[in-house]
Chain A
């Protein structure tokens, strides 16, 4: 992503953003609410078209990218995007049919504990259960690149560990994982690379060790974003 800009009316969401994510690594994007994280990720998913600058995902422009490209990219939206009347495992099985070589649905569902509420409709799931189904939906196509918008928000500690294990294993299988988060613990535990965003700009970008240089991520974050958080 190079010099990306995006404006909604008079609000500047992205103001010249540049960063990149590597295969086999987890990149965590941190930043206050309204900093532009979701807009940035949505530009990568082809859901928003930047005003200027370039985005390349697997070498392709995600805006109007063909099905073949979309099949290599897994997406977990912040609002889930799950049809209300569907049942989790049936939904995952359906989504898996959109791919030529999907992950085995039963194993994925078991790994995230989705099998325990397989027969409950999405409408009746708790927030945390829904998060897990949305994460599974992003991974079911065995993607090369995964974008996860706050994957562990609202999860209990056990579920969070399950999600972290799964995210790490997806990266170790070679996928590039990009996730947005508000949790320093999450970033410190599973991220290889950190991108900190504030007011539509990247204020820090590098490996966890480079960015923190001995201090805690929390300290660094507040130093860098204090002005925008007020």
Chain B
């Protein structure tokens, strides 16, 4: 037997695009994922704008709320969504099957990254649209900085999600990914700025990827500011989690 010379695998872009489309559609068709990715953030936004019992700091509530909810969207899909999906794919041997297919492990990771960015873009369109309908007046000059924040935050949270999904069994991933989502929403500096959090919590939260993401999105979209410190915090989390995930990730359950 000898190896064939004509190409048998589809090209890399075709393979990654096919898998990214498949993963995006899987995420969007999954009821629970859609709930966490779009419905709950939209409800949080509407609730924060319509009520005033959660203190958001000085300024118009809708302008303060939208950047925080965009941060929540990133955490929903890049962290909770990816972790749960990957955890169960690992349990059911999907990761092994795709690893043995022409897609391979690197292709699968690339496809997951593309799929998450597609979903985040969709979430931003929905939440941004809802915000504008509720009277949001963003600082348009801050959009490029906000995009950088969103990309860094997505990277950090996807890496953390893979670290969790690749080391803990599926049921544990499900419980932890949802618990972390709730904890970060409540006190992770996501929708409530770290400066508005009670007592000693603020300085700790500033060093979390959630706080850095929320605060830098607020700085960009409220004041058009670039927050290099927050970007560095996210970068450190992203690199550290990526290195750990690449060392510790187990492809089979």
Contact = CB atoms under 8 A, between A and B. Distances in A.
Interface of A: 23, 45-47, 58-60, 67-73, 75, 77, 79-86, 94-95, 97-101, 137, 141, 144-145, 176
A56 to B, nearest CB: 9
Interface residues of B, number: 34
B247 interface: no
A141 B103 CA distance: 12
A97 B1 contact: no
18 contacts: A58-B1, A67-B107, A70-B100, A71-B102, A77-B93, A80-B97, A81-B92, A81-B94, A85-B29, A85-B30, A94-B18, A98-B19, A98-B101, A99-B8, A99-B102, A137-B97, A144-B4, A145-B1
Nearest to B88: A84
A100 B93 contact: no
A47 B101 CA distance: 11
Nearest to A145: B1
A98 B94 contact: no
A45 B104 CA distance: 12
Contacts of A60: 3
A60 B1 CA distance: 10
B99 interface: yes
Given A46-B100, A58-B2, A73-B100, 19 more contacts: A45-B100, A47-B251, A67-B102, A68-B8, A70-B100, A71-B102, A77-B97, A79-B93, A81-B96, A81-B97, A82-B97, A94-B22, A97-B10, A97-B18, A98-B18, A100-B8, A137-B97, A141-B8, A144-B4
A170 B8 CA distance: 17
B92 A23 contact: no
Interface string B1-16: 1111001111010110
Nearest to A20: B1
A47 B94 CA distance: 12
B89 interface: yes
Contact of B3 (A46, A59, A85): A59
B9 to A, nearest CB: 4
Nearest to B253: A79
Contacts of A176: 1
B94 A72 contact: no
Given A58-B2, A72-B8, A98-B10, A81 B93 contact: yes
B1 A100 contact: no
A137 to B, nearest CB: 7
B16 to A, nearest CB: 10
A144 B103 CA distance: 17
B9 A100 contact: yes
Contact of B12 (A67, A81, A137): A67
Contacts of B3: 58-60, 68-69, 72
